[in-house]
Amino acid sequence: MHINDETGHGHTHEHSHEHTHEHLHADGTVHTHAHEHVHSHEAPQDADKVKALLNYMVEHNEHHADELADLLDMLPDKAKDKLTKAIGTFEAANVELRAVLEELE
């Protein structure tokens, strides 16, 4: 929730955007898919919603890490090293998100 400093009243808003991904599989086929992200800037008001959002983010990160890993065999070594590091960032974030989920149990 955003607070307007002048009035003290809060407001919320949502926005969405669609991601279109195209990636090449090891067998040479190209796969394109789209998925929409809806972002709400309103904080969830109960623990179940927080847990659901955190679980969604973990799964979402895993999905993107898998998509990126599919690209590794097509890259030169220097780019492959950088992409491997980026994938590790998704994995590190998920370790922290899972730790938050454990704290909420």
C-alpha 53 chain-centroid distance: 11
pTM: 0.58
Residues with Cβ within 8 Å of residue 97, at least 6 apart in sequence: 54, 57, 58, 61
What string of pLDDT tens digits covers the 105 residues of the chain? 334 444 444 444 455 556 566 656 666 666 666 666 555 556 667 888 999 999 999 999 999 999 999 999 999 999 999 999 999 999 999 999 999 999 998
Domain locations along the chain: 1-42, 44-105
Residue 104 and residue 51: Cα distance in Å, rounded?
8
